[in-house]
Amino acid sequence: MKQRDFEAGHEAGWLELEAALRTDGGRVADLPARYRQVCQQLAVATERQYTRDLLERLNRLVMAAHQRIYRRRPLQKSAWVGYVLAGFPRAVRAQARAVWLATALFLLPALVLGLGCYLDDSLVYTLLPPEQVATFESMYDPAGRTPGRERGAESDLYMFGFYIKNNIGIAFRTFAAGLLFGIGSIFFLVFNGVYIGAVAGHLTRIGFGSTFYPFVIGHGAFELTAIALSGAAGLCLGQALIDPGGRTRTAALRRAAASAMQIMYGTFLMLVIAAFLEAFWSSGQSLPAGLKLATGATLWALVLGYLAFAGRGEGRSEP
């Protein structure tokens, strides 16, 4: 290929990349791929012994793209701040349909079973073994020393670790089960909704609500929301397998997994916060129930408001 034809075929791309790189702090679409492309073009031009002016131009492009890519490496720590402040809620809103579906699959069974177990004292025993029901009654008995914890449990610090392990285990199963074409995530969402609703309805019926709700409302804002979001991420995986959209299932799954993990990183952080609150705040006996309820309501408002509004209007349009 003659140099004239080579330049004509790539000139538009070079001009576009040069203009983008001249803007300090500007974003360049798919910069790593374009960097590799220019590197290849420089190698071809060098091998074919094109003019020195062209080689110098391509070399400047390669160096500028290289500096733009690797200049961002030291900013990885601040990238986490940006993710927490804007990236995570944006990722959740980008999958709004999956989030609403997961919320319905989790919340509706909880409400139905909660009402059912409140109205019918025997219903809870068709869902849970009597020993487990007795355990929950013992944990939330107003006469107990530490609400929400079995008698003789270890320290708050031990329980913090236990809650992290338990909560993240539930969330990961709910997410990963989406690989079963979404059916696994649906199962875990409904199962957890049924389980939580049945326990809440039964404890309310027997008069333990004054202990149960002040205990769960604070950390529940993070924990229950995280479970629903984990299910939404799992549904995204299932959707990619059911309808790959013209791609291979492997390619569609990789694409969906990248978006789903943007949700899961924040979900894991929420579960750590939930575990901390459950171990050190929710079980505190010295705090009035009214204070716990008010704080819990505030946390729910903050979590929902954060997911709905954080990161809007920062250079990226959203529906």
| Tens of pLDDT, residues 296-312 | 999 999 999 999 999 88
Q: Do 45 and 141 fall within a single domain? A: no
Q: Do 39 and 162 fall within a single domain? A: no
Query: Per-residue DSSP letters for 75-136?
Result: GHHHHHHHIIIIIHHHHHHHTHHHHHHHHHHHHHHHHHHHHHHHH-TTTHHHHS-HHHHHHH
Q: Do 30 and 174 fall within a single domain? A: no
Q: Do 108 and 67 fall within a single domain? A: no
Query: Per-residue DSSP letters for 9-47?
Result: HHHHHHHHHHHHHHSTT---TTHHHHHHHHHHHHHHHHH
Rounded to whole angstroms, the Cα distance separating 55 from 49 reads 9
Q: Is residue 46 part of a domain?
A: yes
Rounded to whole angstroms, the Cα distance separating 290 from 133 reads 26
Q: Do 98 and 33 fall within a single domain? A: no
Q: Do 62 and 178 fall within a single domain? A: no
Q: Do 47 and 65 fall within a single domain? A: yes
Predicted local confidence at residue 26, as pLDDT: 55
Nearest to 86 by CA among 318, 306, 319: 306
Q: Do 228 and 300 fall within a single domain? A: yes
Structure tokens at 292: 């716990």
Please give the C-alpha separations between residue 40 and each of 12, 44, 62, 287, in angstroms, as whole numbers: 16, 6, 10, 66
Render pLDDT for 202-221 as a digit per residue (tens, 0 to 9): 999 999 999 999 999 999 99
Please give the C-alpha separations between residue 232 and each of 186, 193, 197, 213, in angstroms, as whole numbers: 9, 14, 20, 26
Single out the residue in 46, 71, 96 at which a domain terminates: 71
Q: Do 56 and 134 fall within a single domain? A: no
Q: Is residue 319 part of a domain?
A: no
> Domain range spanning residue 22?
3-71
Predicted local confidence at residue 81, as pLDDT: 86
What is the full per-residue pLDDT of the chain (319 aa) written as tens digits? 788 888 888 888 888 888 888 775 556 667 788 888 888 888 888 888 889 888 888 888 888 888 877 665 444 556 788 899 899 999 999 999 999 999 999 999 999 999 999 999 899 999 999 999 999 998 888 876 656 554 444 566 777 888 888 889 999 999 999 999 999 999 999 999 999 999 999 999 999 999 999 999 999 999 999 999 999 999 999 999 999 988 899 999 999 999 999 999 999 999 999 999 988 888 777 788 899 999 999 999 999 999 999 988 754 545 5
Predicted local confidence at residue 28, as pLDDT: 65
Q: Do 236 and 167 fall within a single domain? A: yes
Q: Is residue 229 part of a domain?
A: yes
Q: Do 55 and 83 fall within a single domain? A: no
Query: Per-residue DSSP letters for 246-259?
Result: TS-HHHHHHHHHHH
Q: How many domains does the chain have?
A: 2
Q: Is residue 129 part of a domain?
A: yes
Q: Is residue 105 part of a domain?
A: yes
Q: Is residue 270 part of a domain?
A: yes
Q: Do 174 and 42 fall within a single domain? A: no
Structure tokens at 57: 């131009």
Q: Is residue 210 part of a domain?
A: yes
Predicted local confidence at residue 73, as pLDDT: 47
Rounded to whole angstroms, the Cα distance separating 87 from 79 reads 9
Q: Is residue 314 part of a domain?
A: no
- What is the reported pTM? 0.72
